[in-house]
Structure formats: structure tokens, C-alpha cells
Amino acid sequence: MLGWSITFFILALIAAALGFTGIAGAASGIAQILFIVFLVLLVLSFVIRAFRGQSVV
């Protein structure tokens, strides 16, 4: 998930540099959504592991 987020972020940077503002805006929006979903799943995973008594690392 984080890999896709980084991919869309790089796509947005390239599109913005070339002047494609519509594509750059869409790609950055997708990257932001994917990054937030990644963070939520990461925190949820840590919380579930903590309640089960497993180590996080």
C-alpha cells in the first residue's frame, strides 16, 4: 500500500513538472488517500497485536 502511495506521489510530481495539472491533482489525491489508509491499517495492526500480547517487532 505504501509502495502504491509513493508511486502516485512520484507520478503527481512528474505530471506537475510537465504542466498536466489535472492529472497531477488526481494523482496526489489518490496518493494521499492511500497513505492515510496505510497509516490506519498500520495503527490497527499495532493495536490488535498489543491486545493479543504479541510483540510489535
Note the pLDDT tens digit of each residue in 5-28: 888 888 888 988 998 888 888 988
Specify the number of domains making up the chain: 1
Residue 28 inside a domain? The answer is yes
Domain hosting residue 37, numbered range: 2-52
**Whether pLDDT at 36 is above 70:** yes
Q: Note the pLDDT of residue 50.
A: 87
User: pTM for the whole thing?
Assistant: 0.74
Residue 57 inside a domain? The answer is no
Residue 48 inside a domain? The answer is yes
Q: Name the band, by pLDDT with cuts 50, 70 and 90, for residue 38.
A: very high
Residue 24 inside a domain? The answer is yes
Residue 46 inside a domain? The answer is yes
Q: Rg for the chain (alpha carbons), in Å?
A: 16
Q: Note the pLDDT of residue 40.
A: 95
Please state the three-class secondary structure of 12-52 as a single string.
HHHHHHHCCHHHHHHHHHHHHHHHHHHHHHHHHHHHHHHHH
Q: What is the mean pLDDT of residues 22-36?
A: 90
